[in-house]
Chain A
Amino acid sequence: MTDVRLSARQVTKRFGGLAAVNNVSIDLWHNRIHAVIGPNGAGKSTLTNLLSGDLQPTSGSVTLGDQDVTGWAPEAISRQGLGRSYQKTNIFLPFSVWDNVRLAAQSRDVQQPWNPMQWLQNATKSVASHARSKRAIALSGLENRANAIAGTISHGEQRQLEIAMTLATEPQVLLLDEPLAGMGMAEAERMVALLLQLKKDHAMLLVEHDMDAVFTLADHLTVMVNGQVIASGTPAEVRADADVQAAYLGEEH
């Protein structure tokens, strides 16, 4: 398939004797959602962390765009065009919603921490990051909550904020780790609609437990069990796979 934006090849992560991710290869394509499913402990989050640089693979390689980013620090991978959200809400709780998003957007301004001129500007006056923040807030539907303190908004809104912060860095590749976790029905529906909208401009990895959402959203599906890929293909192919039914779907459906 064409238009691969991120590709991991034979990625393995060992913690002592345990291979949390074992020889996994995965591609993310522009304008497609690649969902990764699997039972708890299958290694989905570890895989996400390997792709984002939060963890370094024991072996294997990760290519982002046309760059080999294996072993890069998370900030370098982020600046190369990858944005990720976290399974456990990972925001700046004491800051306002707007300040959370503005800070994320600021990361795409020129960063010169050693430049004294940057010590005297006013952060809120950056036109570029203001525009990025406004767009991200609007996309994620948080316009009415922009002034609220992030620690005081609802869980669903915090999940939206996760996405908004990720979008504010204007990534080409999105890694979303359980964006629907803990959401109510209405919130989840809104999030699904948002993800469908975001698909147009991004290559997306979606780790999710909500099977209805997964089958609504995914263009491609990879099933992981015990750190290994046991099936990968279109949702229809995966649904028909006997191994998958035995290992995972069968238990729940």
Chain B
Amino acid sequence: MSTAKAHLETLPGSVKVVLGLGLIALAAFPFFGTDFYTQMVTRMMILAIFAMSLDLLQGVTGLVSLGHAAYFGLAGYALAFLTPQGEAVSLWWTLPAAVLASGLAALVIGFFVVRTHGIYFIMVTMAFAQMVFFLFFDNKVLGGSDGLYINFKPTASVMGFTLFDLDNKVSMYYTTLAAMLIVYVFLRRLLWSPFGRALAGIRVNEHRMRAMGFGTFGYKLSAFTLAGALAGLAGYLWGVQSGYINPELMGFHMSAHAIMMVILGGMGNFAGAIVGAFTFEYVLHVFKDLPQVGSMNLGKHWQLWMGLFIVLVVVFASRGVLGLIAQVKAGGKLHD
């Protein structure tokens, strides 16, 4: 079995059909779902963007970052700082500014971390993210452990005419859906570009890449920066949607959740990251709602069930949900 297939870089027809149906369902959802669920799916799509940005590192380049949430949170904070107490700001400049802030942070941190390999990369990305976390956690000026409110959602107007109103839950939903699709199409293209092929080469055999003349440092740093910027896009949308930002969003758990989403859906093809984010959030929702049984509140211990769930997926469907779909359609053959 090839890793090209293991990574499902080329999506099988069956997977494409499922994704297409999923897209139709997403496009129609606000017409049927309640406000609560519309908001929940919006959050899922935001996390899908976040998971895709990590997949560029984890699935494509083979760099497992345990600190990716730092770039997610930073853009949210950027929006909070850029939004004055009493009025709304324009999306047109705060979004690029927030994405740039995350990208810059990733560029600077990446300059140090992409020199390391394997377990050291994991440790160093986590260490930097923890530094960012505590910088915000311990500083009252930066909101401290309580975080910051974003009282007014950014406006998206062109010459006085409001293009879409982010205060409106359905508008927010479709804006997020559009952002998710743009990021997906962009990353799918990137996967087959010379840049994307070089990143895949680095994942498989960085030593040979260098021997063939690839300056792998530049490629890895570019990927790290781009992944940070895209995580920033997700973080910005999170800030817009929730109107509130706190250090937890940059924390270890958030980073770990993103890794699990990517594994859950299937790595290295971006569609898996989307499916993984949806699956993770949905399963989380189910586990948190588990009833009280005897003296034990099952829902309170959702992390236990989530852990078991992830273990089961990794053991029985190592290529994630997408791999499972491809496998079922291929007639149950495990390694086709």
Contacts and interface: CB of A to CB of B under 8 A. Distances in A.
A92 interface: yes
Contact of A118 (B195, B205, B213): B195
Given A74-B210, A108-B213, A122-B192, A92 B205 contact: yes
Given A106-B194, A123-B192, A94 B4 contact: yes
A111 B218 contact: yes
B214 A122 contact: no
Contact of B213 (A86, A107, A122): A107
Contacts, number: 112
Nearest to A171: B213
A40 B215 CA distance: 32
A91 interface: yes
Given A113-B198, A121-B194, A91 B205 contact: yes
A165 B212 contact: yes
A169 B186 CA distance: 29
Contacts of B207: 54, 90
B4 to A, nearest CB: 5
Contacts of A108: 213
Interface residues of A, number: 40
B216 interface: yes
A94 B204 CA distance: 8
A102 B192 CA distance: 13
Contacts of A120: 186, 189-190, 193
Given A108-B213, A151-B2, A118 B218 contact: no
Interface string B190-227: 10111111101100110111111111101101110010
Contact of A74 (B6, B190, B211, B226): B211
A78 B208 CA distance: 11
B34 interface: no
A250 to B, nearest CB: 36
A75 B217 CA distance: 10
B218 A119 contact: no
The interface residues of chain B, by DSSP majority, are classed as helix
Given A74-B210, A75-B216, A169-B213, A95 B204 contact: yes
Contacts of A119: 186, 189-190, 193, 195-196, 226
Contacts of B3: 93-94
Contacts of A121: 193-194
Interface in A53-79: 54, 73-76, 78-79
A52 B19 CA distance: 47
A162 to B, nearest CB: 10
Nearest to B199: A113
A118 B194 contact: yes
A126 interface: yes
Contacts of B192: 122-124
Nearest to B197: A123
A189 interface: no
Interface in B209-248: 209-216, 218-219, 221-223, 226
Interface in A153-198: 165, 169
A78 B204 contact: no
A194 B204 CA distance: 28
A28 interface: no
Contacts of B212: 75, 78, 103-104, 107, 165, 169
Contacts of A15: none
B4 A90 contact: no
B195 A106 contact: no
A103 B211 contact: no
Given A92-B201, A94-B6, A114 B222 contact: yes
Contacts of A79: 213
Interface in B152-196: 186, 189-190, 192-196
A131 to B, nearest CB: 15
A17 to B, nearest CB: 27
B270 to A, nearest CB: 13
A93 B6 CA distance: 13
Contacts of B210: 73-75, 78
B204 A93 contact: yes
A48 B200 CA distance: 27
Interface string A84-101: 101000111111100100
A143 interface: no
Nearest to B187: A119
A92 B208 contact: yes
A111 B219 CA distance: 9
B7 to A, nearest CB: 8
Contacts of B215: 73, 75-76, 111, 113
B204 A113 contact: no
A123 B200 CA distance: 12
Given A94-B204, A114-B222, 17 more contacts: A74-B210, A84-B211, A90-B205, A90-B207, A91-B208, A94-B3, A95-B201, A106-B194, A106-B197, A111-B198, A113-B215, A119-B195, A120-B186, A122-B192, A123-B194, A126-B194, A165-B208
The 3 closest A-B pairs by CB, nearest first: A94-B3, A78-B213, A107-B213
Interface of A: 52, 54, 73-76, 78-79, 84, 86, 90-96, 99, 102-104, 106-109, 111, 113-114, 118-124, 126, 149, 151, 165, 169
5 contacts: A73-B210, A75-B214, A86-B208, A103-B209, A119-B193
